[in-house]
Amino acid sequence: MWSTSLPRGNAAPHPDTAPPSPVLRSPALRATEAGMTQLDWYIRNELRPRHLRLLVALDELRHIGKVAAHINVTQPAVSKMLGEMEKGLDLKLFERTPKGVTPTLYGECLIRHARRLLNDFSQARDELKGLLDGDTGRIRVGVLSNVVPALLPRSVALLKQRAPRTNVFLREGTMERLLPQLLQGELDLIVGRLAEKHALPELGGKVLSQEPVVLIARPGHPLARRKRLEWADIMHCPWVLPSSEGLLHEPLERTFEQHGFPMPADFVEALSVQFVLAYLQETDAIATMTRDIAHHYRRQGLVSVLPFNFPKLMRPLGITWNRNRTMSPSTTLLIECLEEAAASGAPA
């Protein structure tokens, strides 16, 4: 019969009843016994910023040798660190091939969060440095090219009047390029209306204004001397159409259809405002532009606004942010300035 009494004095415990020595159990095993999975334990206790940087570098370069050179370590060191991560997580993060490495589904998930965490660390560093240097904020703003000439300069000027030491960093691009940066925490805000096709639960947005669309041409264009233009007058012209990636292309196409006209056959499709301006100077082409921006360039003598009315063709202008990130006071202040600048409109 087995004894159920505890050992007394110096008596040795029976080998079948003695608990395993804590010294012989790994931290991961003790965590598992406490109700924590190996995955939980590794992420909470072992995952470090150097691991996150390695994941991002592997995703960008897709080759262990290139990553080793990039972070100034040996290839075996990179392989060892990656192997330790995969063993600790009990997950395969990358597929190894003769040409390099490719992230698995698990790897893609962890890389996505690694980018966000590293951006958070960078933002914390910048905010701390700003406090030490006496700065009051830092805002990273993505902006669509057709917003740069008009609304944004007025908004940033208002911001600087109220918070002179708040620094603004602008990145210009398309929504397709800027949106991933917003989701990864590389941007605090995008100035530009979010299209329906980009709508995601984690994104918030607000319309600042509805801008009328006008027709523009080079100064001295034959149509600029007319007092009034009809649809038939503009159909024979070469056109610069808004990019199919932009928000104005489909509404413009519907407007043509509603008035019984096909889209122009002689056209160039462009997203770059600078290209549009340069191309108009060289040709008799005409183009669409929001009224605010068109008048901005008209005052500089770069374009003429043609006497043509697009009924009900409006382009929404707004802001987009990431709901999953806490908005800083500086970003909130910039939004207030954007709202004020949009409400005041542009000078005629």
Over residues 300-317, the pLDDT tens digits come to 999 999 999 887 788 778
Question: What pLDDT is recorded for position 346?
Answer: 55
Residue 69: burial class (beta carbons within 10 Å; 0-12, 13-18, 19+): middle
Please report the domains of the chain, with CATH numbers, ordered by start residue: 26-112 (1.10.10.10), 135-208+316-344 (3.40.190.10), 212-314 (3.40.190.10)
pLDDT in tens, 151-210: 888 899 999 998 888 889 999 888 888 999 998 888 999 997 766 656 788 888 888 888
Share of residues in the chain with pLDDT > 90 (%)? 39
Burial class (CB in 10 A: 0-12, 13-18, 19+), 334: buried
User: Does 9 have pLDDT greater than 50?
Assistant: no
Kindly report, residue by residue over 67-119, the tens digit of the pLDDT. Answer: 999 988 999 999 999 999 999 998 999 999 988 999 999 999 999 999 988 88
Q: What is the pTM of this model?
A: 0.59
CA–CA dist 228, 3 (Å, integer): 108
Decide if 276 contacts 345 (C-beta within 8 A). no
Amino acid at 202: E
